[in-house]
Structure 1
Amino acid sequence: MGKKTMSKGLHADYIFNCALETGMRSACVLAADQSMKYDLQQLLAFDHLVVHTGDIHNAPPSLHPNVLQRNGELLVRRPLVEHGLLLMEHKKLVEKIISIDGFYYRATDLASVFIESLTNNYIEELCKRADWAVRMYKDSGDEFFSEVFNAAFDRWRNEFQIAEISIGSDEGLK
């Protein structure tokens, strides 16, 4: 009975889109270079980027499967990343910095210690991608995000058009 209940509550969509996972991804990004601080929009971009690195030339393979219509994730991820940051802030792994320019987040010293204590393959691979993404960002700044996400939005627009054609055709009705 316990097994049924547990498997009922653990769906892949929830596991990959819960506050714990998005918070851990943000903590890994922030811990990759503790001298850096990022705003919510930047962390949202990093969140998408570290799981879909395979979309970029000469990048590590994607951490998550390359499912169709994943580009639309960008439109719904903001509250997930916000909740993840709140969880990490509550656990003292991330701190919010309030400045005249807005709200920023940075890793605490505890974040690196906590992340290094985790020994599963997923976290190790996540940290590699977070390190890569932070290096790329530091080399190019917000232009890096612009290039990556303009390409993602082009793919998303194409996915939308293909779906629209499919719905509008006679074959799509059969």
Structure 2
Amino acid sequence: MDAIEPSRRQVTFNGPLEAGIRAVALLGAAYPKAFDLQRLTALDYLLVRTKTIEGGPESLHPPTPLRSPDAEVRRRIVHQGLVLMMSRDLVEQEAREAGLMYVAGENAAAFLDALRSPYLLKVKDRAHWLIGHFSGYTDAEFNAIIRRYFEDWIIEFQEFERSIGVA
């Protein structure tokens, strides 16, 4: 009998399923408010790194020496997660004047109530904290904060490249 090779693919908390669950937690915490993909992508990043926000609770994920500045990679994963969650009525997509928006779906509340693992309880807690923290911010204020984080990510990425002799 042939031995089964272990998967060489690194298992992380950043696949479509995990991003989808975080999106449901964020949308559930914000209900009935809806967000576009750009906002959900930014919130997803901040949800696992709440300690980077002044006064934020401990981050869900440990700090990494390099956080990818490629927002498109994260955006694609969040979108795949939203599609997955929409297939289970956990998220609804709505066409609005501002564009495509996402809101917690019919089954979101029951789904979130069923999540009981320590990690998922922290996800829900951080989602409520994050939504509450940014509730008074206008879109322009929120976008300015995200631009600042993105600039920090770019600088960090460039410093890392210089340290390994790439740039």
Question: How does the TM-score come out when normalised to structure 2?
Answer: 0.87
- The answer to whether the aligner puts 1:98 opposite 2:95 as a matched pair is yes
Structure-2 residue corresponding to 1:88: 85
Structure with max Cα Rg: 1
Gaps of 5+ in 1: 170-174
Look up the match of 1:161: 158
Kindly provide the amino acid, as one letter, of the partner of residue 7 in structure 2: K
Structure 2: which 5+ residue stretches go unaligned? Answer: none
Residues in 1 aligned to 2:54 and 2:157: alpha-carbon distance in whole angstroms: 24
Query: Do the aligned residues in 1 keep the contact of 2:82 with 2:91 (CA within 8 Å)?
Result: yes
Q: Structure 1 length as normaliser, TM-score?
A: 0.84
Between Structure 1 and Structure 2, how many residues are aligned? 165
Match of 2:136 in 1: 139
Which residue matches 2:23? 26
Given the superposition, is the C-alpha separation of residues 168 and 120 from structure 1 closer, same or farther in structure 2, using an over 3 Å criterion? closer
Question: 1:123-165 CA distances to partner (integer Å, 9 max, x unpaired)?
Answer: 1101111111111221113213422x23322322322332343
Mapped to 2, the partners of 1:20 and 1:60 lie a distance apart of 24
Ranges of 4+ aligned residues in structure 1 off by more than 6 Å = none
Alignment check: 8 A CA contact 1:40 1:82 kept: yes
The equivalent position to 2:147 in structure 1, one of 146, 150, 164, is 150
What are the equivalent positions in structure 2 for 1:9-158 lying under 5 Å apart?
A: 11-12=10-11, 15-72=12-69, 74-142=71-139, 143-147=141-145, 149-158=146-155
Q: What's the counterpart of residue 8 of structure 1? A: 7
Letter in 2 for 1:158: I
Q: Give, in whole Å, the separation in 2 of the partners of 1:136 and 1:24.
A: 20
Distance in 2 separating the partners of 1:64 and 1:58 = 17
Q: In 2 relative to 1, CA 62–4 (structure 1 residues): closer, same or farther, beyond 3 Å?
A: farther
Please identify which structure carries the higher helix content.
1
Q: Deviation of residue 88 (structure 1)?
A: 0.3
Local SS of the residue matching 1:45: helix
CA positional deviation for 1:71: 4.7
CA distance in 2 between partners of 1:67 and 1:141 (Å)? 30
Between the aligned partners of 1:73 and 1:133, the Cα distance in structure 2 is 22
Q: Contact conserved, 1:39 with 1:103, CA < 8 A, in 2? A: yes
